Amino acid sequence: MKNRWTAPDVTTVIIAVSLLVASSARASERRPTGPDAGTEQVIRLTPAELKWTAGPPMLPSRASMAVIEGSFSNPGPFTVRLKFPANYRIPPHWHPVKVTVTVISGTFHMGFGDELDTGKGKMLPAGSIFEMPAMIHHFGWTSEETVIQEHGVGPLSVNYLSPAHDGVHR
């Protein structure tokens, strides 16, 4: 008697072979072993170990930054701390990607809209978090030295609403 393969039989064989190939590929990957395996990928930094440089050229001068991972200008994840002096202003702008911000120290004020209006913002003390979806018009300012941590998936740009503000950065 001749065996006939039906479509469900063929599908089952294809799935089984695919799973077998995938599991053997994973098993053959070289994984480091031992107590320190993979430690070269670990980031452990105290605040004193951060390397502060001039802020990104897309922001008004006087900001500082410490890059933890990635880059604003490249595709992929980035994590950066930004330090702003007292009375720092970030004009209204938008980003093409979502960013998440945590206030590390000080107080960051953030508002929505097309004009920087300090009467229309929210005070965000240390420990506060805000997530900014792509394309939202917003602005920020400080009343004291403030450090924020910003992370997302780049590339990230700052698109100022007023052409006059394009010249405020370096």
Q: Which residue has the tokens 């294809």?
A: 14
Q: Which sign, positive or negative, has the C-alpha torsion 55, 62, 162, 108?
A: positive
In this prediction, residues 118-131 reach a mean pLDDT of 96
- Kindly indicate the confidence band of residue 8, based on its pLDDT and cuts at 50, 70 and 90: low
Lowest mean pLDDT among 21-35, 58-72, 79-93: 21-35
pLDDT value at position 24?
46
- Kindly indicate the confidence band of residue 107, based on its pLDDT and cuts at 50, 70 and 90: very high
Confidence (pTM) = 0.75
Looking at the predicted structure, is the pLDDT value of residue 10 above 80? no
List the domains of the chain with CATH numbers: 40-167 (2.60.120.10)
pLDDT value at position 9?
61
Calculate the average pLDDT of the chain. 84
Looking at the predicted structure, is the pLDDT value of residue 164 above 80? no
CA pair distance 40, 167, nearest whole angstrom: 41
CA pair distance 88, 94, nearest whole angstrom: 18
State both tokens at 75. 């595709």
